[in-house]
Amino acid sequence: MTSSLESLRTLIAQHYDLAPERLQPEARLDALGFDSLGAAELLWLVEEAFDVELTRDPVGLRTLGDVVRTIDLHTAPRRPATTPGRPLPAR
């Protein structure tokens, strides 16, 4: 289990009365009781907890795994874009 998933499970368990064992990557947000407003509220909590800025449109986030992948995408170390085999330009 990824640390993002573990942190998300803890966050959800603390703010919503959901058992952690229900909070698996394949768990659908709607099946957990999150309607569109609830999903937007969850994203707001995620932004605060993970210090990231996520999309305001939760349509593509259907499962907890989708949310985790989005968190990981936004918290991945930023690396300069390079072309494979070519050095970085001098500054």
63-76 tens-digit pLDDT: 999 999 988 988 87
State the amino acid at position 11 in one-letter form: L
What local confidence, expressed as pLDDT, does residue 79 receive?
A: 47
Residues of the chain with pLDDT under 70: 1-2, 55-59, 77-91
User: Considering the entire predicted model, what is its pTM?
Assistant: 0.74
- Residue 7 near residue 68, CB atoms below 8 Å: no
Contacts of 18 (CB under 8 A, 6+ apart): 12, 32, 33
- Residue 23 near residue 13, CB atoms below 8 Å: yes
CA distance 83 to 80: 10
The proportion of the chain whose per-residue pLDDT surpasses 70, expressed as a percent, equals 76
The proportion of the chain whose per-residue pLDDT surpasses 90, expressed as a percent, equals 36
